[in-house]
Structure 1
Amino acid sequence: MSISIRTAKFGVCLGMTALMAACVTTQSTGGRTAIGAGAGAAAGAGLGAIIGDSSKAALIGAGIGALAGGIAGYNWSGIKQDVQQSGASNLGVDVTEMPDGSLRVNIPSHVSFDTGKYQLKSALLPVLDSVARALIQHPELRAVAVGYTDSTGSLQTNQVLSRERAQAVTTYLSHQGVGGNRLIAEGRADSQPIGNNATAEGRALNRRVELYLYAPQQ
């Protein structure tokens, strides 16, 4: 199945969110503790909040797994350290364990893409190589790439660019040996800004690809 088809199915699946209720998990010292998806979003968002109303469930796509079953708590320490040591910290790529149990690799555009382009810069490739290694070594994991732009330009242009940038990331991971059925790309244009689009600094923050690694609840 091609990435474009999976992306389309992802959009269709978002419409199913009202039909399902979800629970995600996170790890604590004594083991796994169930928390509501809405609670995870309130504490700093995560994959559950990206896919729509974070109080509802959504399917990520055929063969990927269902958030209706929840995201499993996962020990990310080794993977997080490997990604950081691959050059992420020096490039400004933030690697964060999210409250819903996923691991977010926040990739700013200045180290990943030229303005208006979606070809990956070579400086980012060691970071993506480390993500690919983690996915290959841990076949239970899945990845979702979500692209964003700033508010400059038309919505249509931004939607296409954000999707192509997310697809560039998942395509690279696939070329490193990660099964395409474990990857999905989604473009979100200038929605969900993390900076002020009225300033150059804020717009720079908003131009990004957020790559989420997660383990489906079994």
Structure 2
Amino acid sequence: MKKLSQIAASVSIVALLAGCAATDTQGGRTAVGAGAGAAVGAGLGALIGDSSKAAAIGAGIGAVAGGVAGYNWAGIKQDVQQSGATSLGVDVTEMPDGTLRVNIPSHVSFDSGKAQLKAELLPVLDSVARALVQHPELRAKAIGHTDSTGGADLNQRLSLERAHAVTNYLVQRGVNGGYLMAEGRGPNSPIADNSTPEGRAMNRRVELYLYAIQQ
């Protein structure tokens, strides 16, 4: 009985959060935006027994105007990978919230403490720009991250400058600046252990999310 009560409570919480997170547009299609979407994922975790995976639903780009629509990323994903992403260690992943994440590690994007793009990364960004120009229904958001070393203000500024470096380059390649967003999260969203050199290297990154808006 106690277990059934917990499941019932979780269902209620998920339903409530989903109502807050969903955006209804043109005939009722819904999409979960990330801020509330992450909370929905956590609620789903109580049901499916894997909160780490469930919380990834909507946890990437945050809430976006109009919501995120489903999209067939196969062609764009292949083009980005073949532009040099795979050989550079740039991971291109379709996310549970419907976005395409291009995870750019710092060793191929920026020198330590700098926000100037390295030349080797540019063909990858060229392929992203090409996709955004050819598919005007798409938008993109760059999110900069740092490790936990150094001052909080410095890390926050550096993460934002790096995100802007990515979006500014896309604009130079013909992408409508109104279709782009940049955000710096400093060390606040680690994906690895900051107590090890390997972990800190993984945490220093720019995540570029492509997404389709609700029509």
Q: TM-score range with shorter-chain normalisation?
A: 0.7 to 0.9
- The answer to whether the 8 A contact 2:31-2:68 is kept is no
Report the Cα distance in structure 2 between the residues aligned to 1:133 and 1:51, rounded to whole angstroms. 21
Report the Cα distance in structure 1 between the residues aligned to 2:88 and 2:55, rounded to whole angstroms. 23
SS at match of 2:98: coil
Report the Cα distance in structure 1 between the residues aligned to 2:196 and 2:23, rounded to whole angstroms. 36
Match for residue 49 of structure 1?
59
Report the Cα distance in structure 1 between the residues aligned to 2:157 and 2:132, rounded to whole angstroms. 27
1:113 to 101, 110, 115: 110
Higher share in strand:
1
1:208 to 205, 210, 213: 205
Residue 34 of structure 1 deviates from its aligned partner by 5.9
SS at match of 1:152: coil
Residue 44 of structure 1 deviates from its aligned partner by 6.2
**1:61-113 Cα shifts (integer Å, max 9, x gaps):** xxxxx1xx421000000000000000000000000000010000000000000
Match for residue 92 of structure 1?
89
**1:3-40 Cα shifts (integer Å, max 9, x gaps):** xxxxxxxxxxxxxxx9x822379xxxxxxx96753339
Higher share in helix:
2
Report the Cα distance in structure 1 between the residues aligned to 2:187 and 2:124, rounded to whole angstroms. 25
- The answer to whether the 8 A contact 1:44-1:99 is kept is no
- The answer to whether the 8 A contact 2:114-2:158 is kept is yes
Task: Give me the TM-score of the superposition, normalised by structure 1.
Answer: 0.76
Task: Say which one has the larger Rg.
Answer: 2
* C-alpha RMSD of matched pairs (Å): 2.3
Sequence identity (%): 68
Mark the CA change 1:165 to 1:101 in structure 2 (over 3 Å): closer, same or farther. same
1:163 to 154, 160, 170: 160
* Paired residues, number: 179
Alignment of 1:15-164 (within 5 A): 21-23=20-22, 37=37, 38-39=40-41, 42-43=53-54, 45=56, 48-50=58-60, 58=63, 60=64, 66=65, 69-164=66-161
Residue 217 of structure 1 deviates from its aligned partner by 1.4
Report the Cα distance in structure 1 between the residues aligned to 2:23 and 2:117, rounded to whole angstroms. 32
Gapped runs of 5+ residues in structure 2? 1-16, 45-51
- The answer to whether the 8 A contact 1:44-1:98 is kept is no
Report the Cα distance in structure 2 between the residues aligned to 1:181 and 1:126, rounded to whole angstroms. 22
Match for residue 176 of structure 1?
173
Gapped runs of 5+ residues in structure 1? 1-17, 26-32, 53-57, 61-65
- The answer to whether the 8 A contact 1:24-1:101 is kept is no
Query: Which is bigger in relative contact order (C-alpha 8 A, separation at least 6)?
Result: 1
Residue 199 of structure 1 deviates from its aligned partner by 0.2
